[in-house]
């Protein structure tokens, strides 16, 4: 055992469990790739100010959870706590919005970091797949992204998730609601930190998970009563498009999400089998974020889905993923001459697209066959001096136990045919 361990609140992805994470990433990204979203990758750290402006200085993410550092040159950097601000920064820097083909549709996958109290489903290092559609204000685009996330989860076999939906209004109607909400909240029995939040971003109080706070919010002003006609029409169109696509959702008037940049459409995917950390992903429209970080007006929408929490949701539902075969053929050489001959066969199989592995280290037959069983191989190839003298190898079907001699020159073709 090593002297060192993974930092508190983090985890290592180790086979065979890591295969689940790869399968989830693939399932989430597949509908995006089929819908015109191109892959983008950004640095693991950014200028602190990018997140302070974009995510919001009043959010827990910025005030409590960011990992920050000062470089030798004096620059203030932060490990990325979320993906949207970084992706938008990269798109602006590369002038993707000037190519004349809006929206700019991008997807990404990576690790993110927040200094939180570790618990199941909430880690200090976590993995997400995200999607952003930049530069277009269109309810069809909002609906598209929600539908694609729903499609991804259903392709994995998840069924017990719910989609929560809300509208946060825009710069025209939200200020009126903000003032009404602040007036209501100031009369409540709240701690000092929450009272400070009332003055900075009162909508964040609605997202407070504490039972004593939620109890006092029962009669809070409802945002939907303050939406302007344009926001109401926009939201109704999103709802109608989802309904027409057969996507079931629930209206949630208190859904505000944890980031300050959201406007109009906001949504969350939750799974009741995960306990308190029920959100498996979410997102929304962020029409003013580009201006917040120094860019032009670029109305945009996006989401991020948690890979770790999706895996937990699959486990909660008892869903077994159909994982790719890692080894179809396992070669067991008996002697140096057989090692050279079978390694050439394995190389040929791999070039033919067959997943093949090899008994390294000169182990005996018994130990090598145990390794073949553990690998899950469908077939094993065994060869010794006598087999090579006859120009054959022994091909064993690990399911039926049947063993046949196959000419060394024909073994790649034979296995390729058997494995389809």
Q: Which of 75, 128, 136, 61 is nearest to 104 (CA)?
A: 136
Residue 260 has pLDDT above 80, yes or no: no
| CA atoms of 34 and 42, how far apart (whole Å) | 22
- Encode pLDDT of 78-134 as tens digits: 999 999 999 999 999 999 999 888 999 999 999 999 998 887 778 899 999 999 999
Residue 58 has pLDDT above 70, yes or no: no
Which tokens in the block code for residue 339? Answer: 């090692």
Give the predicted TM-score (pTM) of the model.
0.89
| CA atoms of 7 and 323, how far apart (whole Å) | 29
- pLDDT value of position 284: 95
In the 3-class helix/strand/coil scheme, how is 262-297 assigned residue by residue? CEEEEEEEEEHHHCCCCEEEEEEECCCHHHHCCCCC
- pLDDT value of position 324: 82
- As a CATH number, domain 329-418 is 3.40.50.800
Mean pLDDT of the region 50-68: 76
In CATH terms, is domain 18-173+227-317 a member of 1.10.10.350?
no
Residue 158 has pLDDT above 70, yes or no: yes
Question: Domain locations in the chain?
Answer: 18-173+227-317, 329-418
Residue 273 Cα to chain centre, angstroms:
18
Residue 336 has pLDDT above 80, yes or no: yes
- In terms of phi and psi (left: phi > 0; alpha: psi -120 to 50; beta: otherwise), the region of 231 is alpha
- Encode pLDDT of 187-220 as tens digits: 888 888 888 888 887 887 887 878 899 899 888 8
| CA atoms of 133 and 92, how far apart (whole Å) | 13
């Amino acid at each position: 055992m090593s002297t060192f361990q993974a930092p508190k609140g983090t985890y290592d992805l180790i086979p065979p469990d890591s295969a689940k994470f790869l399968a989830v990433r693939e399932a989430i990204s597949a509908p995006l790739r089929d819908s015109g979203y191109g892959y983008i990758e950004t640095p693991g750290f950014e200028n602190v100010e990018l997140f302070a402006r974009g995510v919001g200085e009043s959010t827990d993410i910025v005030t409590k959870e960011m990992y920050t550092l000062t470089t030798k040159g004096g620059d203030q950097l932060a490990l990325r706590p979320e993906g949207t601000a970084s992706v938008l920064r990269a798109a602006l820097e590369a002038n993707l919005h000037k190519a004349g083909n809006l929206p700019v549709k991008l997807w990404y996958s990576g690790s993110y970091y927040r200094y939180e109290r570790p618990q199941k489903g909430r880690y200090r290092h976590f993995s997400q797949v995200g999607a952003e559609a930049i530069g277009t204000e269109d309810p069809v685009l909002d609906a598209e992204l929600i539908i694609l996330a729903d499609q991804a989860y259903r392709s994995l076999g998840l069924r017990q998730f719910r989609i929560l939906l809300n509208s946060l209004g825009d710069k025209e109607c939200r200020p009126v609601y903000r003032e009404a909400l602040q007036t209501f909240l100031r009369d409540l029995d709240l701690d000092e930190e929450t009272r400070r939040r009332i003055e900075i971003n009162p909508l964040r109080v609605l997202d407070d998970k504490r039972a004593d706070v939620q109890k006092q919010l029962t009669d809070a002003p409802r945002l939907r009563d303050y939406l302007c006609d344009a926001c109401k029409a926009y939201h109704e169109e999103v709802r109608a498009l989802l309904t027409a696509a057969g996507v079931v959702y629930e209206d949630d008037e208190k859904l505000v999400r944890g980031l300050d940049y959201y406007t109009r459409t906001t949504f969350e995917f939750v799974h009741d089998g995960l306990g308190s950390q029920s959100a498996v992903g979410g997102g929304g429209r962020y029409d003013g974020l580009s201006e917040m970080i120094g860019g032009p007006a670029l109305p945009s929408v996006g989401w991020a889905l948690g890979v770790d929490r999706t895996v937990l949701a699959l486990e909660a539902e008892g869903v077994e993923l159909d994982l790719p075969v890692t080894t179809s053929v396992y070669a067991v050489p008996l002697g140096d001459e057989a090692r050279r001959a079978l390694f050439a066969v394995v190389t040929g199989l791999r070039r033919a697209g067959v997943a093949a592995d090899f008994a390294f280290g000169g182990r005996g037959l018994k130990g090598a066959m145990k390794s073949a069983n553990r690998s899950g191989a469908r077939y094993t190839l065994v060869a010794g001096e006598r087999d090579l003298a006859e120009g054959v190898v022994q091909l064993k079907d690990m399911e039926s136990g049947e063993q046949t001699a196959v000419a060394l020159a024909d073994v790649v073709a034979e296995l390729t045919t058997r494995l389809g």
